[in-house]
Amino acid sequence: MKERLILVTNDDGVDSKGIRAAIEVARTFGRVVVVAPETMQSGKSSSITLYDPLFLRHVHEEERLKIYAFSGTPVDCVKMAFDYLLKDEKVDLVISGINHGSNAAINVIYSGTMGAAIEGSFYNCPSVGLSLTSHDPDADFEASIEWGRKIIGDILEHDINLPLCLNVNVPEGRPEEIQGVKLCRQNRGSWREEFFLREDPRGREYFWLTGRFYDDEPDAKDTDEHALADKYVAVVPVQADMTDYSQMKNLAKIMK
């Protein structure tokens, strides 16, 4: 059997600790090409760079591993990989992460990690976003590496239906603290922001955006937030059809 080819990307940038953890996961399954952002791209969602030139840098090469840094967003990185660098190869899997911080619940729509994972699923291979619920740059990735390997091993060894994109969130803690894995749906809720107003040395005012997540269904048992709170790894399959089918009937009456 031909060795698998795995694309690794992230949103925390090519130098983050999390991407080294993702590379460790990926190397279990085949040879690895990394195309990751030069700079921090957290919160970049599915952004694409339409009005700026993009620069590609060859960072490192060793047996079964090539690393590139790209000046764009996480989605730009996926596009650069599939539509340029690996155009003539068959990519078998995309891993995005391991993200420093949770991408559960509504975070999925803001996350650059998940933007890249969703984009990866458009290229006829399974695509997995991996996140650890710790923002610490020096976080302990051991449990997320272990569980990432297990979940990816399972999908590579079984019959799956494409497109497949998984949003995998691993709770903070040592491997032995994790209770197992749960298949979940995305928890409902949204962020409300607090803008911190400051003044620069020249008297110009500026803001920092900070926020807090409000859980719209704290009692639901089948959501990613609930699984994480119980120290389970939360796995949510994700798709890109944003149509709100539940509105169709009522709107059909209104829009006659």
Question: Segment 206-225, which members bind a copy of itself (CB under 8 A)?
Answer: 206-209, 211
Residues in the chain, how many?
Answer: 256
Site residues for a copy of itself, 72-101, by CB under 8 A, read: 72, 75-76, 79-80, 83-84
Q: Of 15, 47, 86, 142, which lies in the binding site for a copy of itself, with binding defined by CB under 8 A?
A: 47
Q: Which stretch binds a copy of itself (CB under 8 A): 19-27, 29-37, 51-59, 137-145?
A: 51-59
Q: CA gyration radius for the chain?
A: 19
Instruction: Yes or no: say if 7 and 65 are a contact pair by the CB < 8 Å rule.
Output: no
Site residues for a copy of itself, 138-177, by CB under 8 A, read: 151, 154-155, 158-161, 164-165, 167
Site residues for a copy of itself, 99-118, by CB under 8 A, read: 106, 108-110, 115, 118
Which among 138, 164, 195 has a CA at the least distance from the CA of 12?
138
Instruction: Yes or no: say if 78 and 120 are a contact pair by the CB < 8 Å rule.
Output: yes
Our finding on whether 205 is near a copy of itself (CB under 8 A) is: yes
Our finding on whether 33 is near a copy of itself (CB under 8 A) is: no
The amino acid present at 128, given as its one-letter code, is V
Instruction: Yes or no: say if 214 and 193 are a contact pair by the CB < 8 Å rule.
Output: no
Give the residue with the Cβ less far from a copy of itself, 21 or 106: 106
Distance CA 182, CA 236 (A): 9
Our finding on whether 59 is near a copy of itself (CB under 8 A) is: no
Place of tokens 């089918």: 245
